[in-house]
A and B are shown apart, each in its own frame.
Chain A
Amino acid sequence: MDDRLKTKFILNVVLLLAVALLIYWGQDNLNNFQIRILNLAGIFAILGVSLNLVLGFTGMFSLGHAGFMCIGAYTTAILTMSPRSKEIIYFMEPINPVLANIQWPVLPAIILGGIMAAVFGFLIGFPALRLRDDYLAIATLGFSEIIRIVVTNTITITNGALGLKNIPSIKSLWVYWLATILTILIIKRILNSSWGYAFKAIRDNEIAAEAMGINIFKHKLLSFTIGAFFAGLAGALMAHLITSVDPTMFRFLFTFQILLIVVMGGMGSISGSVVAALIVTIGMEVLRIVEQPMNLFGVLSIPGLPGMRMVIFSILLLLVILFYRQGLMGTREFNWDWLINKLSTFKLRKRGEAA
């Protein structure tokens, strides 16, 4: 099997190189709009993977991702905006003097965004994770709304409902997709560690897991906090992609989109979430045409239908959950073993035919 390990290692390196080449090519050849969509897809992939860790691998139905994103986005926004634009933007009430003159570089600010979200995830998880299933869902949804309401009301820190503008912009595909790939690798690593096995044991049967000596609460909290960290990270990246944030951005709608990605990709499949994130984000943009007025052959004109995209996506979610519950990938992952096996049986069959 040593041989196979070596092959797999080479294949992984080749895959990473191919992705790097694609990013390199995309950075030079795609237009700004396409790059923006791909960056958004990367952010959604991070979100999908992190919700999947919580929902698909640990079996905790958390609807709080939008709140954690909100924390991450605001943290990085407040830390990286220049003192001058802060002075202009906070015209309702002046900014808290402690924050007025801070200007951090982008990278530590984004990471701190994730850490802040993780801290809140820990604090929220501490009481909330004693609940289960639907109660947990509604409690995390509640916390996410509370975060949004607090952000709307703490005007000297967050500028309230007006939101923040002029956040330093990052346009490079490299930044977002490097973050995405790192997220995937880290979460994969976690899932293959003893933590990951504990998470899956808790998902499959909490009582049996406890009987096997797994500390349920500790592992749930761990999974929830890691999920919150990556959600905060994605929120921070989002702030730099869109360059403005306001509290209405982080409504439940956002969590719904992430949920759609996880369900579509398969609860319990990292690669499924990544593929679904690409499909949903690009689909969102492609379907923009159904919301715009159309003119068919110059005869038939159809007025634009705002909201139609979300109708399509809600129907999609219902269809997946009713008829194709495992989603694109189920709990399977894309892996080389499967591919190598397929190829070798193919080769064997061919040899058989030749003989």
Chain B
Amino acid sequence: MSMDILLQNIANSITLGSLYALIAIGYTMVYGIIRLINFAHADLLMVAAYIAFYGIFLFTLPWWVAFLIAIALTALLGMSIEKIAYRPLRSSPRITVLISAIGVSFLLENLGIVAIGARPKPFPRPEQLVWNIHLGNISFLSLTIIIPIITLVLLAALIFLVKKTKMGMAMRAVSKDYETAGLMAVDVNKVISTTFAVGSSLAAIGGILWSMQYPQVDPLMGVFPGLKCFIAAVLGGIGSVPGAMLGGFVLGFLEIMLVAFFPHISGYRDAFAFIILILILLFRPGGILGENVIEKV
């Protein structure tokens, strides 16, 4: 493999890794706070991408207005999902809540198919954001740089939120033990709502960037990225924000390099992430950065 192609692949894996990381953070936050795999998180990507798409094409909004509206509406949707489908089940067995999450995910996907149709649509690439960069023999999209920068900035902001603000402290308290946190005058419902809002807006940003990088939207576009980002979150250590980031980058890197070095098994690319998941669950269930928690009676 020549140097140029290797560099190209490294650039690709950084982009993919950043996207995985961005979406994985949402999974990890929600899991950290209510111990639920939010299956609907994956479909929030799709919802955000479609809102942005229609904002630009149907309402001819400037791209940044469309993007902001998409992020706000997706955050709202994430909060409503929690309120309607998860909150009433908070004290029931985990399996029940998980079934509810699967139900919400299927509802969103199929509403997408009913309302918009299953055919993929091309996603616009605003000229101010996306242009070609040539560096020696390799050329890449500006997104290759923009996406990691956005991801890092958001990560820094998020770590600030979790570590330095009052809300962040409340989040950590709820995640440790929500009943006790409630007794300590933390408004548990508000904290969980905020977590969903933050997680969902990250999913929205991820979704919009994803559809610019791979410029196409369809109602099932969130399914595979969603599953893989969950895997990234587990890989890094679920519940830990830097872990999700690390997991996203590792998964993106491994996936791109696998296809680059072993092109003849590229058909197995989607299976690869699941194999990683199963290995990590078996040998280090806490993930790379997580602690191995022993379940108490």
Contacts and interface: CB of A to CB of B under 8 A. Distances in A.
Interface of A: 55, 59, 61, 127-128, 130-131, 133-135, 137-139, 141-143, 145-146, 149-150, 152-153, 207, 252, 256, 259, 263, 305-308, 310-311, 313-315, 317-318, 321-322, 325
B122 interface: no
Contacts of A315: 107
A318 B114 contact: no
B270 A145 contact: yes
B37 to A, nearest CB: 5
A310 B110 contact: yes
B275 interface: yes
Given A127-B282, A131-B281, A145-B271, A263 B99 contact: yes
B100 interface: yes
B267 A135 contact: no
Given A150-B271, A311-B107, A321-B96, 11 more contacts: A127-B278, A131-B281, A146-B271, A256-B106, A306-B113, A306-B114, A306-B117, A310-B110, A310-B113, A314-B106, A314-B110
Interface of B: 35-37, 85, 88-89, 92, 94-96, 98-100, 102-104, 106-107, 109-111, 113-114, 117-118, 223, 227, 230-231, 234, 267-268, 270-271, 274-275, 277-278, 281-282, 285, 297
Contacts of A322: 85, 88-89, 100
Contacts of A317: 99, 102-103, 106
Which of A133, A134, A325: most chain B CB closer than 10 A?
A134
A325 B96 CA distance: 8
Contacts of B37: 134, 137-138
24 contacts: A59-B95, A133-B95, A134-B37, A137-B95, A137-B98, A138-B37, A138-B234, A138-B277, A139-B281, A141-B227, A142-B277, A143-B278, A145-B227, A152-B267, A207-B297, A256-B102, A259-B99, A306-B114, A306-B117, A307-B111, A307-B118, A314-B106, A317-B99, A317-B106
B267 A139 contact: no
Contacts of B275: 146
Q: Which 9 A-B pairs have the closest CB atoms?
A: A307-B113, A142-B274, A314-B107, A310-B110, A149-B271, A314-B106, A317-B103, A153-B267, A318-B103
A311 B116 CA distance: 13
Contact of A139 (B106, B111, B278): B278
A127 B96 CA distance: 24
Contacts of B278: 127-128, 139, 142-143
Contacts of B36: 134
- The dominant DSSP class at the A interface is helix
Contact of A305 (B35, B92, B114): B114
Contacts of A61: 95, 98
- The dominant DSSP class at the B interface is helix
A319 to B, nearest CB: 9
Contact of A135 (B85, B109, B285): B285
Contact of A318 (B100, B270, B277): B100
Given A61-B98, A134-B37, A325-B96, A143 B274 contact: yes
B279 to A, nearest CB: 9
A244 to B, nearest CB: 21
Contacts of B285: 131, 135
B118 A310 contact: no
A307 B110 contact: yes
B220 to A, nearest CB: 10
B106 A310 contact: yes
A150 B265 CA distance: 11
A318 B107 CA distance: 9
B277 A139 contact: yes
Contacts of A311: 107, 110-111, 114
A317 B106 CA distance: 10
A145 B274 contact: yes
A325 B92 contact: yes
A4 to B, nearest CB: 36
Contacts of A138: 37, 230, 234, 277
A263 B297 CA distance: 28
A338 to B, nearest CB: 26
B104 A318 contact: yes
Contacts of B35: 134
Contacts of A325: 92, 96
Which of B102, B223, B267, B274: most chain A CB closer than 10 A?
B102
Contacts of B230: 138
Contacts of A127: 278, 282
A135 B92 CA distance: 17
Contacts of B274: 142-143, 145-146
A52 to B, nearest CB: 13
Contacts of B104: 314, 318
Contacts of A313: 106
B191 to A, nearest CB: 21
Contacts of A143: 274, 278
Nearest to B31: A134
A342 to B, nearest CB: 31
A322 B85 CA distance: 7
Nearest to A152: B267
B268 to A, nearest CB: 6
A130 B98 contact: no
Which of A252, A263, A307: most chain B CB closer than 10 A?
A307
B281 A135 contact: yes
A131 B284 CA distance: 12
Which of A131, A321, A325: most chain B CB closer than 10 A?
A321
A263 B274 CA distance: 26
